[in-house]
Each structure stands twice: as structure tokens, then as C-alpha cells.
Amino acid sequence: MALKIYNTLTRKKEDFKPLHEGHVGMYVCGPTVYGHSHIGHGKSYVSFDVIVRYLRYSKYTVEYVQNITDVGHLLGDTNEGEDRLLKQSRLEHKHPMEIAEFYTRSYFEDMDALGVVRPDISPRATGHIIEQIEIIKHLMEKGFAYEVNGSVYFDVSKDKEYGKLSGRSTEDAEAGTRVGVKTEKRHPNDFALWKFAEPEHIMRWPSPWGVGFPGWHIECSAMSMKYLGETFDIHGGGMDNQFPHHECEIAQSECATGKPFVRHWIHNNLVTVNGQKMSKSLGNFTLLKDLFKKHDPLVVRFFILQSHYHSTLDFTDEALEGASKGYEKLFNTVRNVRAELKRRNDEELPAGGMTIDIAGFKSQFLEAMNDDFNTPQAMAILFEVAREVNSELAEARLLPNQMKEIDEFFMELGGTILGIFPTQTDVRFGDDGSLEPGLVELIIDLRNEIRKQKLWTLSDQIRDGLQKLGIVLEDKKDTTTWKRA
RNA sequence: GGCGCCGUACCCAAGUGGUAAGGGAGAGGUCUGCAAAACCUUUAUGCGGCGGUUCGAAUCCGUCCGGCGCCUCCA
């Protein structure tokens, strides 16, 4: 079954066909680094991470580029706006580059925790000023841009296709423009490619039009095309960037090269908090670092993937609690299979007798993923398998080779593709190479001797004591398992 | 005003023409020294309301109601 992806450009689910067979060039708009990442970043980059992981699983070679915006762009295309990075640097009394560096590290820290695989290239906007100027020069030469007082603007009226992504005409946009705003632009929809720098503007570069800094949209065109070519396969980003950002990217890129810019546009939907829009201007955003204090980052990842990337996701305590319990249940199964496998690894038993159709479930899972990355559907499959496995496990009916097959199923689909299970040596598996597992197992053995003698008070005392240390014991039919709380 | 999205059980959430996945919570049961975990049963004759197309619609069309997003920085 072929992979289908919803394409914002055509508003249809399409068969995915890369430009060059077996290879995918993918660009996703990265963060502007002037603050810690919030749950919106989490949803966005986890969603695209699964897309990259799945493409790679599907045997594509993926070149994944995600920019770091370290130029603080103006709030709007007029001169009265304020540079966000500069504002933050003033607040923190640090050089803008130090601000950018600090929050870039913070960003990667949070993404690492969420299990997001790092992009192949994380280009910085400030490192590609020359490339940006080159595109602007082309646009000037071709008559798509004009200069006013040291700033350069894209002339929207010259681009007949402007509006094809967002589906809005320039007339529509004009009707919604506030009146009374003074501008040096010829048309309200024209956007800045290069801005003249006032003396107090710290981040500044020389250009053919004087000292200034690049406009907001041009960096993505410059960096994506530099690393992926003038036409590439997938461009992703948040729905809020569909207009004007991506519309402008298309305009300036296609007018500069005369070639189609992007084949598939993928937009992930936004996050709400308790039913309300989360935005910087409303100031109600939840930082990932704060959320991680209450929930395991992998639970957050699980929660995100439990809804489709194209749907809005409402962060409420109740929903997150539910996700946490669900994750615990699923992961318990994975952990128990692993533990049981380890315990009985040496047994030589005849194969066969497997009543769980692992191959069938696997193809159902892949079918869900092929249908525009339907992760909620895919995760439902994992739960169905877990239920059957738990059943068999409780009756001790599984043989080591069968458990191995189940373990591989979970690690491949839940681990490699969805990234919701940690790697095998993770502390969550109680197997991180420390002394602890051996000690706990020794205590369990001793306690089971005590239980044979029916010394319940003492055995409960041991269990409670371990509980306080964060070790949870579970007495099963003929064995006792443990996990970290 | 323009463009667009959504409305599925107490909560979260799949399902785009064939008779309602999955998770959480609740109820009952099994197992168990207890606890925990797990398993089984159960919880929407109905998918915002009303019309229409169809043998058949949560799914398509119309309309109304309700919620939201973009049009200004944001993933």
C-alpha cells in the first residue's frame, strides 16, 4: 500500500512520489530562538519527527533540514515593530547572539527529551545572509522587487500565482488591511525582503542596498533551496505559518528560480490550552520544561501522537492524566515481555503455538501510517496487541521465541517509528548498567523466601520500603516483577 | 467583512458510503495472603439540529445552531 499524504497546496490526500526515487528532501520551519520552547513546538516537531522516522522506515533516504531563526524579525512589515531577539537581549542584558545560542541549546534539550531525532542540518539564518542577498538580487533583476529608502520589498502584483497556498486573493487581503497605516510599500500585501537598519539595530549586515537585515520570509527560501535544491519534496510547518510566511516563501522562491518550489506542503494544527488558543500575544503558553516537571516527556509525546497531526490538540490536566495512565499500561506490557524474556532466555522449547497474529497487526499498523500518518489509529493497534499479549503472559503461555517476536514488534513500531518507547538500555527498562537491578532482584528473591513462610508483615514491610525508594513490586503467578515508579 | 477548520459516550480520540477503533474514568466479575498489575463483561440503536441524495450516511449535498483558527508576531 502506497503512502498517502495530505497536501495543503492541492487540498487533497495524494500518493507520495518524491522527486528522485528513494530520496526525500524535507524542510520544516524551525523555532525563533528568543525563549524556551512551549507545547506548540512540542506538537509540531514531534509530528514532523514521526513523519521523518516513518519515511526512513519506509526505506527512503531523508535529508531533513530545519532552520534556526536567530535573526529577530520585526513585528510586522512596517518600521514601527520591534525586533524580538533584540528585545530579549535588552531584557537579559546580553548580546543577541548569546540569546540565540542559549535558547537554541534549550530547544535541542527539550526536543532530545521528547525523543525527537535531530535534523540532518540545522542552518542558522545569520549564517546565510549572503544566500539571502543573492535571491533578493535575482528578484530585483527580474523586476519582482523594488527598493525604497534602503529597504527592498517584494512586489506582489507581479506574481500572478500569489495566494495559491492559502487560497486568498490579494484583493481579499487588501480588504482586511487596517486603514491609516502609513507604509512605504506600493501594495499592502508587499512584504519585506530586506530592511534598512536604524543605528540602534545591533544585528546588521552590509548589502547592495546599504546596511540592514533580512526580511522574515527570505531565510527559509535561501536555506531550503541551498541544501535541498530549487525544487524539493516536502515543506512542513505550523498552520499559523501558512499565511503569510509560506505564501511569501513560494512567491519569492518561484519568482527567483522560475521553478516550482515545493511539491508537498504539510501543515500541522495548533495547540490549545483548556480550550483556549495558546499564543505569545495572549501570554498563556505552557513551556515544555514546566510540563516535564509533571509528566515524563515520553508521556507528552504519547499524548501528542494520540491525536492526528492535522487536528488541534487541547492540553488539559485531565487529558494528560488519561494519556499518562494509558502510556503506563502499554509500556508495562513492553517491559513485562522484556523481563520475562530475560528470565527465560536460556530455555530451549519447541517453537509454534503462537496465537497472536503479529504479522497481521503489523500490516494494520503500517496501513494506518500510510494513510497520512494516522498515529492514533496506529497506536490503537499497539493496544490491541498489548491486550492479547497480557492475556497470554498471565497464563504463561508464551515461549521465548514468541516473546522475542513480540518484543521486536513493539520496539520496531512503537520504538523506531513512533518513538514512544525508550531504547533498550534506558533507565525506564530498569536496565541501565547500574548496580540497582541486581540488588533489587536479590531482595525480591529473599522476600519470596519469606513469603513462602507466610511472614506477610515482613514481606509487606519490604515491599513498602522499596515503594518509598521508588521501586514498585508486583507479585505475579509464579514470579515477582519490579519497576521504577 | 474575506478565507478556512471543527462539532463522535462522563473526558481524550480514530473512523470520509456498508451498519460506531483505541485510551482514560465508572460499574460488575476473575485471579490474589494483601497490594498492585492483568484479564473478562458492561457503558453512544447513535455520531450538534433539521431536511435531501442513496438499497444503505457519522461519512455526500443543503441549511440552521454552537465552538475555533488565519487575515498582525507565533509551531
* B75 C1' to A366 CA distance, Å: 27
Evaluate if residue A203 carries a pLDDT over 50: yes
Interface predicted TM-score (ipTM) of this complex, two decimals? 0.93
Average pLDDT over residues A444-472: 94
Which ranges in A35-128 belong to alpha helices (H)? 39-57, 84-92, 96-113
Backbone angles phi, psi at A279, to 5 degrees: -150, 160
Among the residue ranges A13-17, A235-239, A259-263, A475-479, the one predicted with the least confidence is A475-479
**Predicted local confidence at residue A280, as pLDDT:** 65
A406 alpha-carbon distance from chain centroid:
27
**Predicted local confidence at residue A447, as pLDDT:** 96
Report the 3 state secondary structure along A405-473. Answer: HHHHHHHHHHHHHCCCCCCCCCHHHCCCCCCHHHHHHHHHHHHHHHHHCCCHHHHHHHHHHHHHCCEEE
Evaluate if residue A180 carries a pLDDT over 60: no
* B42 C1' to A192 CA distance, Å: 62
| Contact present, A392 and A398 (Cβ < 8 Å) | yes
Evaluate if residue A96 carries a pLDDT over 80: yes
Average pLDDT over residues A286-305: 94
Evaluate if residue A351 carries a pLDDT over 90: no
Kindly report, residue by residue over A418-452, the tens digit of the pLDDT.
999 998 777 788 777 788 888 999 999 999 999 99
* Average pLDDT over chain A, rounded to an integer: 88
* B43 C1' to A321 CA distance, Å: 21
Quick count: other Cβ atoms within 10 Å of Cβ A230?
Answer: 16
Among the residue ranges A171-180, A231-240, A428-437, A460-469, the one predicted with the least confidence is A171-180
Residue matched to cell numbers 494513510? A371
A91: confidence class by pLDDT, cuts 50, 70, 90: confident
Angle formed at CA A267 by CA A265 and CA A268, multiple of 5 degrees: 155
Higher pLDDT, A458 or A86: A458
Paired with A124 in beta bridges are A68
**Predicted local confidence at residue A341, as pLDDT:** 87
Nearest nucleotide over every DNA/RNA strand to the A382 CA, judged by C1' = B22
A281: confidence class by pLDDT, cuts 50, 70, 90: low
Residue A134 to residue A193: CA distance in whole angstroms? 11
**Predicted local confidence at residue A73, as pLDDT:** 61
Say what percent of chain A tops pLDDT 70.
Answer: 92
Higher pLDDT, A115 or A277: A115
Distance (Å) of CA A128 to CA A63, A67, A150, A244, A459: 19, 11, 20, 22, 65
Please give the grid coordinates belonging to residue A397.
Answer: 503461555
End-to-end CA gap in chain A:
41
The residue lying closest to nucleotide B16, measuring its CA against C1', is A13
Evaluate if residue A173 carries a pLDDT over 90: no
Please give the grid coordinates belonging to residue A46.
Answer: 514531534
Evaluate if residue A79 carries a pLDDT over 50: no
Q: Select, from the ranges A193-202, A310-319, A460-469, the one with the highest average predicted confidence (pLDDT).
A: A460-469
Backbone angles phi, psi at A197, to 5 degrees: -95, 125
Kindly report, residue by residue over A241-260, the tens digit of the pLDDT.
888 889 999 999 999 999 99
Nearest nucleotide over every DNA/RNA strand to the A31 CA, judged by C1' = B75
A100: confidence class by pLDDT, cuts 50, 70, 90: very high
DSSP A295: S
A367 alpha-carbon distance from chain centroid:
22
Nearest nucleotide over every DNA/RNA strand to the A481 CA, judged by C1' = B37
| Contact present, A99 and A83 (Cβ < 8 Å) | no
**Predicted local confidence at residue A347, as pLDDT:** 66
Evaluate if residue A181 carries a pLDDT over 50: no
Evaluate if residue A170 carries a pLDDT over 60: no
Residue A332 to residue A467: CA distance in whole angstroms? 17
Higher pLDDT, A216 or A72: A216
* B52 C1' to A22 CA distance, Å: 47
Quick count: other Cβ atoms within 10 Å of Cβ A62?
Answer: 20
* B43 C1' to A324 CA distance, Å: 22
DSSP A125: G
Please give the grid coordinates belonging to residue A84.
Answer: 524580538
The residue lying closest to nucleotide B12, measuring its CA against C1', is A319
**Residue A176 three-state SS:** coil
Residue A468 to residue A394: CA distance in whole angstroms? 27
Nearest nucleotide over every DNA/RNA strand to the A309 CA, judged by C1' = B75
Paired with A351 in beta bridges are none
Spell out a b/e string for A377-393, using b for 16 or more CB atoms within 10 Å of the CB, else e.
ebbebbeebbebbeebb
A172: confidence class by pLDDT, cuts 50, 70, 90: very low
Higher pLDDT, A396 or A258: A258
